[in-house]
Structure 1
Amino acid sequence: MLSRSLRTSALMAPAIAVSLALAATGCTPTPAPSPSPTTTASPSETPSASPTAETAALPDCDTIYSAALVATLTGEGRTSSGDISSPGMGGWGTQDATLEGILSTIPERVSCTWILPQSESGSTTSIARLDAATRSTVIATLTAAGYTASTVPGGDLYSIEVTFEVGSYNESHLITDDLWFASVFSGGQSQTLTLDAAAQLLP
């Protein structure tokens, strides 16, 4: 019996060894897969804002007209008086009392007067920056006063000719989206002044 047991043990030993080897192999942990590198999305660039056009400053009386128009005025013997505007005292680009009242209350404005010495001839051009409400008021006033409207490059032109006992004068008003060019001329053409002043300032 003993020798049979020994033989049986001897036969079983290799099988046990193989089983242990297989068991050991089965218990070996499978290596965890290495994490794939993650790609960090770069932040998208915020588009820069488009530059806004700067508001052009109003001219002074030295630059309100082109050099060619200044040469014409001085060639006629006219001289510049600068800005002599005063509420109720004249020096504005209109003789209409209502329009003068509106013009005199606008914060950003300039008025330039030229005179022909020893005569009744003179002219004034005013430029004022308009807000929407004032623009509507000016247009309504021009229309109610009988100014003739026409469309020109840059805006709407309102004109009138006034004759009285001792002479006459004419006015031309160009209204753009945010500017008012107003000229009055006794002894000349106000439209020439208005359109020339506008050409110096409008793009």
Structure 2
Amino acid sequence: MRRTLLVPAALIVALAAGCAPTPVTAPTATPSETAAPSSTPTPTAEPIALPDCDTIYSDAVVASLTGEGRSPLGDVSGPGMGGWGTADDNIEAILSAIPERVSCTWVLPATESGSTTSIARLDEATRTTLIDAFTAAGYVVDGTLFEIEVDSEIGSYNETHILADGFWVGSYFSGGDSATLTGDALAQLLP
């Protein structure tokens, strides 16, 4: 006797569907799914580099200083060197704590006349501390410009400081005009 195996029809259809190839249709892209044309990434701006003492001033200011008989000493802002763009101890302490800075000194030999221009990169907290220090020390404030003239028993000097675009540019000048040095150094840094 022969036996017939009865397999339910649903199982046959399911098995056949699993074995038979299914047609593949290419998906169509909707307008929001279409690939955007590749774009060139926007280059990030390189941070402005601090100058060295050979490039802190324009040729015209260098000619003026040398024409007066002044000599450059370079960056003398290290500990005990005394070359800062300020004579105020509190402001000097702020400047000396800034890691990215340069201070360039010029002297008139055999005199007490000298100048130093300092440039430092500022963060917002240091900028606020500095503004408070300028105000407390009696600097004349005009926006981001801070100036002072001091007469003392050893002579007079003046200072001009500008805070601009994340930088502090300040000059101390005994026997000259600090505003000229500060303005020129700023123009070289941020043309």
TM-score above 0.5, yes or no: yes
Q: Deviations over 1:137-163 (max 9, x none)?
A: 111110111111124xxxx11000000
Please state if 1:176 is matched with 2:164: yes
Counterpart position of 2:111: 119
Partners of 1:38 and 1:54 in 2: CA distance:
44
Partner of 1:57: 49
- In structure 2, the residue matched to 1:76 is 68
Q: Are 1:194 and 2:186 counterparts?
A: no
Q: Per-residue CA shift, 1:128-183, capped at 9, x if unaligned?
A: 000111111111110111111124xxxx1100000011310000010113100010
2:44 and 2:26 map into 1 onto residues whose CA distance is 44
Alpha-carbon separation, structure 2, partners of 1:87 and 1:105:
11
Amino acid at match of 1:181: V
Shift of 1:39: 4.4
More helix per residue: 1
For residues 38 and 145 of structure 1, the distance between their equivalents in structure 2, rounded to whole angstroms, comes to 73
TM-score (norm 1): 0.76
Which residue is 1:163 aligned to? 151
Segment of structure 1 superposing worse, 96-105 or 84-93? 84-93
Write the mapping of 1:1-203 to structure 2, written as runs, cut at 5 A: 39-40=28-29, 42-45=34-37, 47-151=39-143, 156-203=144-191
Structure 2 residue ranges without an equivalent (≥5): 1-24
CA distance in 1, matches of 2:137, 2:63: 33
Give the structure 2 partner of residue 32 of structure 1. Answer: none
SS in 1 for 2:35: coil
Q: Rg: which structure is higher? A: 1
Q: 1:100 aligns to what SS in structure 2?
A: helix
* TM-score for both structures, normalised by structure 2: 0.80
What's the counterpart of residue 7 of structure 1? none
Q: How much has 1:42 moved relative to structure 2? A: 3.6
What is the distance in 2 between the residues matched to 1:52 and 1:106? 25
Structure 1 vs Structure 2 CA RMSD: 1.9
Q: Report the 3-state secondary structure (helix = DSSP H, G, I; strand = E; otherwise coil) of the residue aligned with 1:119.
A: coil
Query: In 2, are the aligned partners of 1:87 and 1:101 still within 8 Å (CA)?
Result: no
- Percent of pairs with identical residues: 62
Equivalent AA in structure 2 for residue 92 of structure 1: W
Letter of the 1:58 counterpart: L
Q: Distance in 1 between matches of 2:107 and 2:37?
A: 60
Deviation for aligned residue 1:97: 0.3
Mapped contact 1:125–1:184 kept (Cα < 8 A): yes
Aligned residue pairs, count: 165
**Runs ≥4 residues deviating over 6 A:** none
Larger CA deviation: 79-88 vs 180-189: 79-88
